[in-house]
């Protein structure tokens, strides 16, 4: 009977850790495999050649990695590489793939940033400026410091050198740049080019804290919005830009949603404008109820159409092209109106809270805000369209009845004649007008506002009254344009 082969058993005691020395590695002559720890071995061939080999588990499978010859890779370098491979395998990565990518060439930070922007562009909202803002901020503040550095050689000190000059001077910009650098470095980790993020929490801890005050976008009090609209109508700007601004205010939508509107989205017969999900911030389709005046604005825009095509933009420039992204903002700024286009959504929100009894849910739905509570959002699936229609009709009525005037604020034209609300106010004054509290109480019911203050001003500029406003197109002409558009055959 043959003798039984002794069963191999696992080595007892502590696992080896840094068991080898440089002197031993230089002098060992017997062929074999000598363990140093962390799966690192010095393989000695019968010919006397020495090389480093690492054994480790990669995604549940045993792998053997060659780390190089002993004459080219020192003991300290082999230990560092073996430890990095072990960490990467523990996180679910594959050191063999990372090694092949390193041998193929590690991209520079600038090349990696370009790839990251291309990857994220598909997820950003169509027509947004996010991609251009990413490129501009990285080009201006990061590429001069580490654009030519390969991503595996970027250190925390390099990131600090890019952020420190702007951290206190442009804190908001610096925070965005920090987040973008961190995103690029996370991409490099996922690609196997490095194992750590040099733009991590250590940067925030090392730089001084600067709690910047929250600065909201400039907005007008709601009782001055009607005067601002009158100033825009009276200006000598291109009609398409003025109509786009008026629709923005009447519908409380974002400037990008108005600027990129297409005729195929508009149903004037049903008084509804359907914005596709691709242009919405919340990535959900949004139906906008159109008041009578909003429909008239679209009727006036229809008269400017160069050719009746369904995919044609609603608002075009004087050359018949899509209006510039800053056209509405530029118009408001040139007229000296102390607000930005997005601020008129805030004016609408203040009016709805202060002067109406419409529920908060209806107002938030009109602004296309998402419900942050996930449980509540799972049940609140209605878009409250008919209730929003009544809200937008009240808003349009309030703007038509609010009196006021706009003074010169350094722009081209900034005057407005008093509206029908002003005539009613003067007649009431002649008959003995009620007190302010009574006027406010009535305003909550009818949508009218108390007489406004001195108008829109910008500090540091002269203010002078202008002449009367030229007459606007009659309501009958606008309604005729709307009727013509409604009679168009389907698909046009």
> Mind listing the pLDDT tens digit for each residue in 403-420?
654 433 444 444 444 443
Note the pLDDT tens digit of each residue in 33-81.
Answer: 888 887 888 889 888 888 889 888 877 778 888 888 888 888 888 888 8
How far apart (Å, rounded) are the C-alpha atoms in residues 222 and 53?
Answer: 74
Give the mean model confidence (pLDDT) for residues 20-32: 87
Q: Between these two residues, 448 and 221, which has the higher pLDDT value?
A: 221
The 10s digit of each residue's pLDDT in 298-325 is 999 888 876 677 678 899 888 888 888 8
Phi and psi at residue 287, to the nearest 5°:
-95, 125
Q: Is the pLDDT of residue 285 over 70?
A: yes
H helices, E strands: number in the chain: 21, 7
Identify the H or E element spanning 203: helix 201-206
Q: CB-side exposure of 152: number of CA atoms within 13 Å?
A: 15
Reduced 3-state DSSP string for 207-276: CCCCCCCCCCCCCCCHHHHHHHHHHHHHCCCCHHHHHHHHHHHHHCCCHHHHHCCEHHHEECCCCEEEEC
- Superfamily of domain covering 22-95: Integrase, DNA-binding domain (3.30.160.390)
pLDDT band per the 50, 70, 90 thresholds, residue 13? low
Closest CA to 39 of 51, 27, 53, 28: 53
pLDDT at 85 over 90: no
How many CB atoms are closer than 10 A to CB 144?
Answer: 11
CA dihedral 119→121→123→124, nearest 10 degrees, is: 150
**Closest Cα partner for 262 from 300, 322, 204, 310?**
310
**Are 102 and 193 contacting, i.e. CB atoms less than 8 angstroms apart?**
yes
Residue 349: pLDDT over 70: yes
405: Cβ contacts below 8 Å, ≥ 6 apart: 227, 415, 416, 417, 418, 455, 465
Distance of alpha carbon 474 from alpha carbon 287, whole angstroms:
28
Q: What is the DSSP string of 53-110?
A: EEEEEETTEEEEEEEEETTTS-HHHHHHHHHHHHHHHHTT--HHHHHHHHHH-PPBHH
Domain range list for the chain: 22-95, 109-206, 222-486
Contact 150, 104 (CB under 8 A): no
Average pLDDT over residues 101-122: 82
Q: Say if CB 24 and CB 44 are below 8 A apart.
A: no
Place of tokens 């004459």: 71
Does the structure show a pLDDT above 60 at 475? no
281, 328 Cβ separation under 8 angstroms: no
**Among the listed ranges 37-41, 274-278, 395-399, 414-418, which one has the minimum average pLDDT value?**
414-418
Asked whether the predicted pLDDT for residue 114 surpasses 60, the reply is yes
- Among 22-31, 342-351, 412-421, top mean pLDDT goes to 342-351
Q: Is the pLDDT of residue 433 over 80?
A: no
**CATH superfamily of the domain spanning 222-486:** Intergrase catalytic core (1.10.443.10)
Q: Which residue has the higher pLDDT, 353 or 8?
A: 353
CA dihedral 388, 390, 393, 398 (to 10 degrees): -100
pLDDT of residue 477: 61
Is the pLDDT higher at 375 or at 342? 342
pLDDT above 90 for 180: yes
The pLDDT value recorded for residue 371 is 66
Q: Which of 23-32, 223-232, 278-287, 411-420 has the highest mean pLDDT?
A: 223-232
How would you label 90-120 residue by residue, b for 16+ Cβ within 10 Å and e otherwise?
eeebbbeebbeeeeeebbbbbebbbebbeee
- Is residue 310 within 8 Å of residue 492, measured between CB atoms? yes
Residue 212 pLDDT more than 90? no
Handedness of CA 242, 251, 271, 275 (dihedral sign): positive
Under a CB-based contact definition with an 8 Å cutoff, are residues 202 and 163 in contact? Answer: no
CA angle 414, 415, 421 (to 5 degrees): 135
pLDDT tens, position by position, 250-267 = 999 998 899 999 999 999
The encoded tokens of residue 281 equal: 């911030």
Q: Token pair 């804290």 is at which residue?
A: 209
Q: Which residue has the tokens 């286009």?
A: 341
pLDDT of 16 reads: 72
d(CA 85, CA 111): 25
Residue 486 or residue 349, greater confidence: 349
What average pLDDT is seen over the chain? Answer: 76
> CATH: 1.10.10.10, 1.10.150.130, 2.30.30.100, 2.60.120.1060. Which one for 109-206?
1.10.150.130
> How are beta strands 40-44 and 50-58 bridged, if at all?
antiparallel
Q: Which residue has the higher pLDDT, 452 or 346?
A: 346
What pTM was computed for the model? 0.51
Angle subtended by helix axes 385-401 and 343-355, to nearest 10: 90
Cβ-based neighbour number of residue 165 at 10 Å? 12
Mean pLDDT of all residues in 87-94:
76
Q: pLDDT tens digits for 141-178?
A: 999 998 888 888 889 889 998 988 888 888 888 889 99
In terms of pLDDT, which residue wins out, 464 or 419?
419
- 3-state class (DSSP) for residue 13: coil
């Amino acid at each position: 009977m043959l003798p039984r082969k002794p069963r191999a058993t696992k080595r007892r005691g502590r696992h080896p850790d840094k068991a080898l020395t440089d002197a031993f590695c230089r002098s060992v002559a017997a062929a074999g495999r000598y363990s140093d720890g962390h799966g690192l071995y010095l393989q000695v061939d019968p010919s006397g050649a020495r090389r480093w080999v690492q054994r480790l588990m990669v995604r549940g499978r045993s792998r053997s990695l060659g780390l190089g010859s002993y004459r080219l890779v020192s003991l300290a370098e082999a230990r560092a590489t073996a430890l990095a491979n072990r960490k990467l395998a523990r996180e679910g990565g594959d050191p063999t793939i990372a090694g092949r990518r390193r041998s193929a060439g590690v991209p520079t930070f600038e090349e990696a940033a370009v790839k990251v922007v291309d990857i994220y562009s598909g997820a950003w909202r169509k027509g947004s400026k996010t991609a251009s803002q990413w490129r501009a901020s990285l080009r201006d503040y990061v590429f001069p410091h580490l654009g030519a550095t390969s991503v595996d050689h970027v250190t925390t000190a390099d990131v600090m050198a890019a952020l420190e000059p702007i951290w206190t001077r442009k804190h908001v910009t610096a925070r965005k740049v920090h987040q973008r650098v961190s995103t690029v470095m996370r991409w490099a980790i996922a690609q196997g080019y490095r194992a750590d993020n040099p733009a991590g929490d250590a940067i925030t801890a090392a730089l001084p804290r600067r709690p910047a005050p929250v600065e909201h976008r400039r907005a007008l009090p709601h009782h001055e919005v009607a005067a601002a609209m009158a100033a825009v109508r009276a200006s000598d700007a291109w009609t398409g830009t003025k109509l786009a601004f008026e629709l923005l205010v009447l519908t409380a939508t974002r400037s990008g949603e108005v600027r990129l509107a297409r005729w195929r989205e508009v149903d004037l017969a049903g008084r509804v404008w359907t914005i596709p999900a691709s242009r919405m911030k919340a990535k959900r389709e949004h139906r906008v109820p159109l008041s009578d005046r909003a429909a008239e604005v679209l009727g006036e825009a229809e008269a400017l159409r160069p050719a009746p095509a369904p995919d044609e933009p609603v608002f075009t420039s004087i050359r018949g092209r899509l209006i510039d992204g800053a056209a509405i903002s530029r118009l408001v700024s040139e007229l000296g109106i102390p607000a930005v286009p997005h601020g008129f959504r805030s004016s609408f929100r203040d009016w709805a809270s202060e002067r109406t009894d419409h529920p908060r849910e209806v107002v938030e739905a009109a602004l296309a805000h998402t419900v942050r509570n996930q449980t509540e959002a799972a049940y609140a699936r209605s878009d409250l369209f008919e209730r929003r229609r009544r809200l937008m009709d009240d808003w349009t009525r309030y703007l038509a009845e609010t009196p006021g005037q706009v003074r010169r604020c350094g722009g081209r034209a900034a005057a407005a004649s008093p509206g029908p609300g002003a005539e009613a106010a003067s007649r009431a004054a002649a008959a003995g007008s009620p007190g302010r509290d009574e006027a406010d109480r009535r305003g909550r019911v009818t949508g009218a506002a108390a007489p406004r203050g001195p108008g829109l001003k910008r500090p540091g500029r002269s203010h002078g009254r202008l002449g009367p406003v030229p007459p606007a197109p009659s309501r009958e002409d606008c309604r005729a344009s709307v009727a013509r558009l409604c009679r168009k055959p389907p698909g046009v």
